[in-house]
Amino acid sequence: MVDVLISSELVRITALAGLFIIVVLAVLLVARLLAGRSAIRSRLAETATGQALGSVARTHLREQERNEGWSKLTAAIERAGIPLTDEKNSSLKEKLALAGFDTASAARIFTLVRLFLLFGVPAIYLAFALSGSERPSLITIYFVSVILALIGMYAPNLWLRLRVDRRKQEIINGFPDCLDLMLVCVEAGLGMEAAFDRVGREVLRSHPRLAELLSAATLELRAGASREQALRGMAQRAKVDEIRAFTTLLIQSDKLGTSIGQTLRVYANEMREKRRLRAEEKAHRLPVLLSIPLVACMLPTMIGVLMLPAAIRVVKILIPIMVGGN
């Protein structure tokens, strides 16, 4: 009976699937423990250096649930007793907010998608592999399932990182234009709140990320927050060095009583110069990048064209002479 069970293909597939699930759960458990320990160490370091940010709940006045169906699905799964995210670890929420997903259920939806890709993609492959006429070997099924599970685990994180980087690049590229418009508004007599509101409405189509940041800062100012709190909140949401330096400059100008218009003019010139230098850097990289396809594709063809007449001449003249001489 035992030999029959061992020789059964279904039993072996079930055993491999169980082993695969056990390994995945063990990896997730170890990763969760390591993430919890790193979060504790970071919180202790922040407390020791006095740089902890205060866990103040921020209310978004214009927050809308764009993914109502996903939100209901994640809520139903969590009511069933399966937590989809760690509420104490805010790093995932910060990354999603930087990527533009600032809803309350964004972290749960992201975790649900990761779990579906982790288990669903290998399951779909197993269904297609076992339903075909020619079934692959067990080793092939096992390794392909593991590779698909790893792709499903890490592909969402890679996509999220790329989206965050693209958002930061959009903010950096459009920031000099916003500074120029803000300088015009301030020199026309508008205050900082009115200038933020006006510029945010003007760049809504051309630079939506910056319009979102400026609108959020305007709403905080209208809600009663101080100018320093609103500017620091904008820098915290952007996570971009240029925005952080800009807000620090405005805060210092406001405290020291210097002209905001002159400050904006100097900083706008610096931002335009930095954008020009970035464009020149990309232009100077083009010859190096173009040399790779030139060497890989055109150089062998050129060598063949140049050497072919000489090779034909050798075949026609030298080889008969050498053969006749022998």
Give one DSSP letter per residue of 196-228, joined into a string.
Answer: HHHHHHHTTTT-HHHHHHHHHHHHHHHTT--HH
Supply the pLDDT for residue 42. Answer: 58
Supply the pLDDT for residue 81. Answer: 55
Supply the pLDDT for residue 10. Answer: 62
In a 13 Å sphere around the CA of 303, the CA atoms on its Cβ side amount to 7
Q: Is 84 helix (H, G, I), strand (E, B) or coil?
A: coil
Q: Is 63 helix (H, G, I), strand (E, B) or coil?
A: coil
Supply the pLDDT for residue 90. Answer: 66
Nearest to 118 by CA among 82, 150, 140: 150
Distance CA 100, CA 168 (A): 11
Supply the pLDDT for residue 143. Answer: 87
Say which residue the tokens 């805010």 belong to: 90
Considering the domain architecture, whether residues 8 and 128 belong to the same structural domain is answered as: yes
Q: Is 163 exposed, middle or buried (0-12, 13-18, 19+ CB in 10 A)?
A: middle
Supply the pLDDT for residue 317. Answer: 81
Considering the domain architecture, whether residues 159 and 182 belong to the same structural domain is answered as: no
Considering the domain architecture, whether residues 145 and 199 belong to the same structural domain is answered as: no
Distance CA 159, CA 29 (A): 23
Considering the domain architecture, whether residues 142 and 226 belong to the same structural domain is answered as: no
CA angle 239, 240, 246 (to 5 degrees): 115
Supply the pLDDT for residue 52. Answer: 35
Considering the domain architecture, whether residues 138 and 246 belong to the same structural domain is answered as: no
Total of domains in the chain:
2
Supply the pLDDT for residue 76. Answer: 62
Considering the domain architecture, whether residues 14 and 93 belong to the same structural domain is answered as: yes
Range of the domain at 223: 170-277
> With the C-alpha atoms ordered 46, 50, 55, 58, is the resulting torsion angle positive or negative?
negative
Query: Does 120 fall in a domain?
Result: yes
The token pair at 14 is 């079930």
Considering the domain architecture, whether residues 155 and 184 belong to the same structural domain is answered as: no
The token pair at 74 is 């994640």
Say which residue the tokens 């063949």 belong to: 304
Query: Does 112 fall in a domain?
Result: yes
- Cβ count near 9 (within 10 Å): 10
Residue 169 in contact with residue 275, Cβ under 8 Å? no
DSSP annotation of 105 reads T
DSSP annotation of 132 reads S
Per-residue pLDDT tens digits of the chain, which is 326 residues long: 445 445 566 666 777 677 777 877 777 777 777 766 665 665 555 444 343 333 333 333 344 444 555 566 566 666 655 555 555 456 777 788 777 777 777 777 787 788 888 888 888 888 888 776 777 788 888 888 888 888 888 888 888 889 888 888 888 888 888 888 888 888 888 888 888 888 988 888 888 888 888 888 888 888 888 888 888 888 888 888 888 888 888 888 888 877 788 888 888 888 888 888 888 888 888 888 888 888 888 888 888 888 888 888 878 887 777 776 55
Considering the domain architecture, whether residues 98 and 223 belong to the same structural domain is answered as: no
Considering the domain architecture, whether residues 153 and 215 belong to the same structural domain is answered as: no
Distance CA 207, CA 148 (A): 37
